[in-house]
Structure 1
Amino acid sequence: DDGKLAFADEESDFDLVEDFGLNKNYKNCTHACHCMIFSKSNVPILDIYQSRSLILMQFRFDGFFGFPGGIVDPGESPEEALNRELSEELGLSSLVEFSKDDRVMVHYNKYKLLLLHFFLKEVSFDDFREIELRSMCAPEYGNEVLGTVRVPLYTMTDGYRGFPAFLQNKFIGNSRQQLLECLKILKIMNAEEIQKALTAFPLC
């Protein structure tokens, strides 16, 4: 699926779409859907750092990080496509289901005529762990998806390791932008904290 998506070199290639109704200007676009599954559990890391929340991302076949999801097939709604993709990528047949009310943003890439629908869902800590475990038995595990990861939402004492270092990885499309926007929506981090992480650099 994501072979059709490819990726943009710049996050600036994606514009936020204000109207979820999506007017006729987008009727010939390819649609894709992705999601952020999270738990507000504050599980300590190494008994030192507070995780603040658990956020699930994937390590993909192409070496990029991204969120679960994929292309919307003809006749599908974005949420129907997302639930299908979650079954294929994470083995979630009924544990987590998304509806149109879970959609929080849509981005448009005019260069690729691509609309990205992004969804957000909170789950319990136990369900989050179950999702991680099920993912290893999913049909696409080891193929499209090489594993799930938890986003490290803490910064270590050197000011770089942890979240700032994580943000220096390669992310598919605008998935890093989606992550940062959701952190603000959920009030897990504020704009100042995010900017500090984006501009941090390792100590030599």
Structure 2
Amino acid sequence: MGAMAAMGALPAGALPPLPTLGVPGVPELKPLTRYEAMRLGPGWSHSCHAMLYAPNPGMLFGRIPLRYAVLMQMRFDGLLGFPGGFVDRRYWSLEDGLNRVLGLGLGCVRLTEADYLCSHLTEGPHRVVAHLYARQLTLEELHTIEISAVHSRDHGLEVMGMVRVPLYTQKDRMGGLPNFLANSFVGTAKFQLLFALKILNMVPEEKLAEAVAATQRPKKPAIDHGAGAM
């Protein structure tokens, strides 16, 4: 049974509720549609970022399925984030502004409205709506972008390098995704990562919840060996 069928019939003219993250330990952000975001007044700023990913049949240590390769960036300030940035709506559409920023950091990818995934209002004193786009590539295309990023204008300046997100959890319950989530992220990037992994069915919701919960437990010294995945 599909999600809409499970919810039952909606009243005439009613729209289905927007999806939420629903992971314990992660503050929920208010979702809104792209149309609603575009109707916000001039006092709002718009940040647009892109999650590029590809199915990955590879196996870590010959036994841990990688499943997907998901790209993020290490920024100049030591924080992790997605490629993208703020878009001045006076001069650019969301997609044109995003592609302009991506051209500085990646150099060889253009996104369209068809790649739009979600919008959320950010917390804090600043009036910012965060938009996330997501595009599935082949692993070869994604690797080409990784290589191209090294030669982009921003490499070594605003961007320290691309990183792949480990989506597995090792037997110690910290290695992989939990350890990655324990890093520091810029703005809404951590929320957007978890939201996209859930909405795109890349990681089961219960595994996301377990990974987040693991980051909130006292840390044990890391052991440098290839422990298996759960």
Which TM bucket (shorter chain)?
Answer: 0.7 to 0.9
Find the residue that maps to 2:56 and give its secondary structure: coil
Per the TM alignment, residue 53 of structure 1 is displaced from its structure 2 partner at its CA by 0.4
Aligned equivalent of 1:193: 207
TM-score (normalizing by structure 1): 0.87
Distance in 2 (CA, whole Å) between partners of 1:130 and 1:19 is 30
Distance in 2 (CA, whole Å) between partners of 1:26 and 1:56 is 32
Q: Which runs of 5+ in 1 are unaligned?
A: 1-10
The higher-RCO structure (CA 8 Å, 6+ apart) is 1
Match of 2:91 among 75, 92, 103: 75
Q: Is the 8 A contact 2:51 2:71 kept in 1?
A: yes
Aligned equivalent of 1:29: 44
Gap change, CA 1:25 and 1:82, over 3 Å in 2: closer
- AA partner of residue 134 (structure 2): L
Find the residue that maps to 1:52 and give its secondary structure: strand
Find the residue that maps to 1:117 and give its secondary structure: strand
Question: Size of the alignment, in residue pairs?
Answer: 192
Larger gyration radius, structure 1 or structure 2 = 2
Match of 2:136 among 122, 130, 137: 122
Gap change, CA 1:132 and 1:33, over 3 Å in 2: same
Find the residue that maps to 2:72 and give its secondary structure: strand
Distance in 2 (CA, whole Å) between partners of 1:172 and 1:115 is 14
Q: Deviations over 1:116-151 (max 9, x none)?
A: 111010111110100000000000001110000000
Aligned equivalent of 2:187: 173
Match of 1:100 among 109, 113, 124: 113
Cα root mean square deviation, aligned: 1.9
What fraction of aligned residue pairs are identical, expressed as a percent? Answer: 32
Match of 2:126 among 98, 112, 126: 112
* Residue 35 of structure 2 corresponds to residue 20 of structure 1: yes
Q: Which runs of 5+ in 2 are unaligned?
A: 1-25, 222-230
Distance in 2 (CA, whole Å) between partners of 1:139 and 1:23 is 30
Aligned equivalent of 2:102: 86
TM-score (normalizing by structure 2): 0.78
